[in-house]
Amino acid sequence: MRVVVMSRKGGVGKSTTAIHLAGYLAGVSGGEASVLLVDTDPSRNALRVARRGRLPFRVVGEEEVDENPSLAREAQHLIVDMRGSPSAEEIEDAMRLAEVMVIPIMPSGLALDTLLQTRRDIKRLGREDRYRVLLTAVPPWPYRRGPQARAQLEEIGIPLFGTDIRRLEAFEAAADEGVLVRDLPDRRAQRAWEDYTRVGEELVEWVRSVRTPDLHAARSGGGA
């Protein structure tokens, strides 16, 4: 699986999403050796988290992959934490690399504006079936920003994960400790992990659905 996590808006949980999707995949596919997270963001948030503690997968910078491309080729699952505010050309390059792109956004009007710009770039590439938006930092009931943002995005045809990531302090605590949120001894942290578990399950099914027509096309081409 090849997944790029991208956002043109900072502070939306991009690195948190990359880390926890990598953690989910490591848990269902054989452990640390099966998953590689490549941190290409100049802030190096994923690398900093990894150096603070212990994550169940390998995290490297893009320079390490440039020096040793086999790292990416040999990984069963590759997660790329893309740099913030990428250009249209960088998005195009990422879409060539990835099977799918995950775009975390918070439920705010400014995030929606940047998302629409990204959608235009992806539409121009003809890859509209290869991205999906993940609502993050969704405030709890009775706040309505999450449901309102979801309804607005659905109305304009934005593909969404069915699961939201709730706004929980456990994510910050996990980053400070250098661990996945599931590894904190806190019941609320387990709720946070449940959110990413559901997103991970959706991701796996999504990639399978993407691969099916590609496989059929490859077989048809091979028999021609």
At residue 25, does pLDDT exceed 60? Answer: yes
- Distance, in Å, from the CA atom of 79 to the CA atom of 95, rounded to the nearest integer, reads 13
* pLDDT score, position 213: 66
* pLDDT score, position 110: 65
- Distance, in Å, from the CA atom of 130 to the CA atom of 102, rounded to the nearest integer, reads 9
Amino acid type, 64? E
Question: What CATH number is given to the structural domain containing 158?
Answer: 3.40.50.300
Give the tens place of pLDDT for each residue, 88-127.
898 888 888 899 999 999 987 667 778 888 898 898 888 8
For 1-64, where are the E strands, in sequence order? Answer: 2-5, 35-39, 58-61
In the chain, % of residues over pLDDT 90: 67
Q: Which domain holds residue 207?
A: 2-223
The tally of domains found in the chain comes to 1
- Distance, in Å, from the CA atom of 142 to the CA atom of 24, rounded to the nearest integer, reads 30
SS3 118: helix
* pLDDT score, position 38: 96
SS3 132: strand
Give the tens place of pLDDT for each residue, 41-70.
999 999 999 999 999 999 999 999 999 999
Comparing 17-21, 74-78, 145-149, 210-214, which segment has the lowest mean pLDDT?
210-214
Give the tens place of pLDDT for each residue, 169-179.
999 999 999 99
pTM check: above 0.85: yes
SS3 136: coil
| Mean pLDDT value of segment 153-176 | 95
